[in-house]
Structure formats: structure tokens, C-alpha cells
Structure 1
Amino acid sequence: MLELRNVQVLYDRAIEAVRDVSLSVPDGAMVALLGSNGAGKSTILKAISGVLTQEDGEVVAGSVMFDGKPLGGSAPRDIVRRGIIQVPEGRALFAPLTVEENLLMGGFTRSRSAAKEGIERVYDLFPKVRERRHQIAGYLSGGEQQMVAIGRALMAEPKVLMLDEPSLGLAPQIIEDIFSAVVALNRDAGVTVLLVEQNAQLALEVTSRGYIIENGRIVLDGASEDLRRNADVQEFYLGMAKGERRSMRDVKHYKRRKRWLS
């Protein structure tokens, strides 16, 4: 199990990005972490991955645990070796390299034969990636790049796959293809998934549990189906009121009416 216990994160030793956050991701589960831009979602993933120091960030309180052991102080490469892999927002591919070279970079901890087998599994999961395997990654479409980014993460044989805004900027059909593949990984290979998304409707459809974060703290959590039926979540995150879609601009007294903040 991946677990955060009362985690606080500061940037530049002054700016509080995450405050007293606790959440758990059971083995084999798919869990959603929802919230608007700047709420702290990506910071939480970076705290787990051990890459906060690259942005002058630091976990100053609480702990990040995996399989009952702390991750705090571990180098990012050691966290990867323990089986926790993050697919960052924006994909972060090696643009000048080919698709296959990007995949091989993801399997740097594995033997040559194991990496070859891993590539074939990625190609089976994403046939479009097989078609583009000799092309320069930077020339791919956004959806194809996202598939390569997920495939690169799978090359390390993750126990926990953390996805940061995988649907961002993609066409609906591509989003459906990518999420179908992630669901299949969870169902068939038992890969645990922590999904960070702004598309709350989609995230709650494919996960079993969700957490909502605002201003750096968890304000609501529960079974995904319960969150989908919650009136406040429907209005403020699913854009619905009385069964009808609504724009955030149409919601009056937005902050005042968030009952979980009262």
C-alpha cells in the first residue's frame, strides 16, 4: 500500500503547497486525486516520487510510506526501483529520440532481454506506438506522445503507476483509448494506479475511490460512486446542478456554498 500521513510540503522553505494531507492507495486499486489547477495534486505526486528538490520543494512534516516502509530521503532512482513510477504532466519525452529509444530509457534498470519483452508488451497495449516506433518522439501527436510516456513508465514494471493529467489537451477518442488501456493494466496485470485528473467525471468512472484537494488540503474523500452522487461534487466538479450541466461561471456564491469548507 502507498500511504501519505499528514504530509506538509513547502517550496523555498516558505510557500506551503500541501498541508496535513493523508491518503492511501491500496494494492491493486485505482484511486483518483481531483482538484483544480494549483490545488497541490502534482506536488503530492512529486513528494511520492522524491523529485521535489528539483523545484526547491521539501516534505517538512508527515511521511510517505510504501509497503510499510518510508520513502522519505530516498533518491528518485531508488523509488523507481521499488516500483513507483510517475508519468508527468506534459509527458516529458526525450523529443530528439525515437519512440523505441524513449521506451528503452524507461527500462534502464532491466536486462536487455527483459527490456525487449517489455517493449513488446507496450506495443501490444498500444498498437499505434508500434507503428511509430522508429519515428522521432517530438514529432508525434499529443495522444501518441501520451501513449509513449505511459509505455516508457511500464518498461520499469511498476507496482504503482502515477498518472498526472493524462487526458490534458487530448481528443475524446484518444482519451478513451488511453483510459481503456490503463483500466486493462489495473484489471489484468494488477498495477495499482493513482490518477491525478481535472476531468472529474472520467476519473470517478474508472476508479474505486477518490480524494478532492483544495488549497493544499484534502477536503473530501470516499468511494468514487458516492462522490459522483454528492450534490456539491456534482455542482462544483462535474458542472451539474439539479441534473443539468452548468458552467462554473453560472454557480453563484461558489466558495460560500462549499459545505465541506465550513
Structure 2
Amino acid sequence: MREGGTVTFMTPTIATSAAPPPALAIHNIQVVYGGAIEAVRDVSLEVRPGQIVALLGSNGAGKSTVLKAVSGVLDAEDGVIEKGSILLNGRAVEKDPAPAIVRQGMVQVPEGRRLFQTLTVDENLITGAHLQSAAKLAQARDFVFSLFPRLAEMRQTTAGYLSGGEQQMVAIGRALMSQPKILALDEPSLGLAPLVVSEIFRCIQTLRETTGLTILLVEQNASRALAIADYAYIMENGRVVMDGTSEQLRRNADVREFYLGLSSQPGRTSMKDVKHYKRRKRWLS
């Protein structure tokens, strides 16, 4: 895996050529809901400092479950990590509750944004900075407004009156208020118009390039995600079926057809082909 971003690490001089350890490492986790439904099985992935790593797959593949597991919020849906480990900056967190994981530096932007609809933009941002001093709160808010200038103009607007794209900006801004080391984004493009999606993804890329922030991006829109990610994993039926650099996956024939909507063979995507969709995936054979 190749590195991205510009993060400085305190490493001994004799080890300058060695790659830094993963900021987030998941090893063979299995997640079960309600004691009976296996949603994720034997999933392993790594996110190195300063990288954007994408977790791709169709709806129901298990992507969001992985994100909930690393964020410590499975218990809200009667989900349990049955086996495996999750290391955040080298520390095991698979049994930690969400507040402890946030204190360790990982913050999630949930699917659907989940803002406080009756609070203003400014008040929503403040709720994300409950662990910060007043000085750091002001500094973080200024940074959010520089990243999303539109929010500065709407800071006194009630969140419920914002457009979907503006709400997504507030949700990302609220997460950034805690000055995280790792930002986890769950389906940031969901329900947004193409132009707004472009703006959101441009901001995500800018965020990494200007701050070196480590980002785990869960997304169905493979084309958008691979355009900005350093490395990506593809999930199906609760497991990782393929991984590689974004360039490697973009060149892969199956990924191009099944996830990017491209085909080098005219007529290959007929109804007969769709019927044998799973059989024709080489990684599932």
C-alpha cells in the first residue's frame, strides 16, 4: 500500500525507511446482530496515517457494520463483535464504548447525517467540540468555516432548513470540531445531487491534503471514492473480496464492469449476464 498526505511521525533515525504502523487495523472481525444474524465475517483491513482508504460495496454488503464496529456503536442495534480485534493507534478498542474511542481520536460522520434539526449550524458544530477548550473550539470552528465557507454565512440558520448538501457539510464540520486523528465517513454521497457530491468529495480530498488527516471512507459510489482514495477494499456478503490501490482496482476488469459501469466487451452486460452476475465474478469462484 502506498502512503498519502503529509503527516510527520516521531520515529528513530535508524528507522526512517520503515513504514509507519497502521492508524487503524482490523483483524478478522466477525459481527453478529441479535445473537443470530452474521453481518460481517473475517474482515481485515488497514488504514495507514495520512491515507484515504475506501471501503466499497453494494447496499447490505456490511460496510456500515464495519464502521459501526470500529466506532463502538454496535450496541445500539444489538450488534456484537464475536471475534477478532480492532487496533486504533496500536491500542485494542474492540471492547471500548464510543466515548472512549472518540477520546482516542476517531470520529464518525454517520449515514444520513443525523444533525440536531432544531439547533443552528453554529450550535451543531459546538456539540462536536465538547472535549475541547474554548480556545480550541474557536480555532476548530474557524477551520470548519474555511473548509466550508457557505456554513459561515449560515451559522445562525436552523439545521432543519438546510439542503442535503449543506447538512452533510455541517455533519463533517461537527466531526472535525473534535480535531480527530481519524475521520470515518459513512456514505457521504447518499441522497445528494451530482454537483453537491463533487463538492463534498473535493472538500474531503482538500482536508487530507492540507492537514494530513487519516480518512476511512465507506461509500457505494465506487467511481467517486476511487478518484480520491489511496487504497480500497471491496466487500460483498459480509466479507472483503478484493483490495488494492485505487489505480489497481480501476484497471481491474471486474471492478470496471460491476462497480464502475464500464465494459471493454460490447454487449457483455445483457440481461443474461446480469442473471449470472455472481457466477461471473472471478473473486467469488
In the superposition, the TM-score normalised over structure 1's length comes to 0.97
Match of 1:122 among 131, 141, 144: 144
Identify if the C-alpha distance between structure 1 residues 143 and 243 changes in structure 2 by more than 3 Å, giving closer, same or farther: farther
Q: Does 1:76 align with 2:98?
A: yes
Q: Does 1:97 align with 2:119?
A: yes
Q: Displacement of 1:251 after TM fit?
A: 3.8
Q: Does 1:149 align with 2:171?
A: yes
What letter matches 1:257 in structure 2?
R
Counterpart of 1:93 in 2: which secondary structure? coil
The size of the alignment, in residue pairs, is: 262
Give 1:52's aligned residue: 74
Counterpart of 1:193 in 2: which secondary structure? strand
Between the aligned residues of both structures, percent identity stands at: 57
Deviations 1:127-157 (A, max 9, x none): 1111111011011000000000000000010
Give 1:257's aligned residue: 280
Match of 1:67 among 85, 89, 104: 89
Give 1:200's aligned residue: 222
What letter matches 1:160 in structure 2?
I
- The whole-number CA distance in structure 1 between the counterparts of 2:210 and 2:144 is 14
- The whole-number CA distance in structure 1 between the counterparts of 2:196 and 2:149 is 13
Give 1:178's aligned residue: 200
Identify if the C-alpha distance between structure 1 residues 13 and 111 changes in structure 2 by more than 3 Å, giving closer, same or farther: same
Counterpart of 1:240 in 2: which secondary structure? coil
- The whole-number CA distance in structure 1 between the counterparts of 2:77 and 2:112 is 16
List 4+ stretches of structure 1 deviating above 2 A.
243-252
- The whole-number CA distance in structure 1 between the counterparts of 2:65 and 2:153 is 34
Q: Does 1:10 align with 2:32?
A: yes
Q: Displacement of 1:243 after TM fit?
A: 7.0
Cα contact 1:239–1:247 (8 A) shared by 2: no
Q: Does 1:28 align with 2:28?
A: no
**Greater Rg, structure 1 or structure 2?**
2
Identify if the C-alpha distance between structure 1 residues 130 and 65 changes in structure 2 by more than 3 Å, giving closer, same or farther: same
Q: State the Cα RMSD in Å.
A: 1.5
Q: Displacement of 1:112 after TM fit?
A: 1.2
In the superposition, the TM-score normalised over structure 2's length comes to 0.89
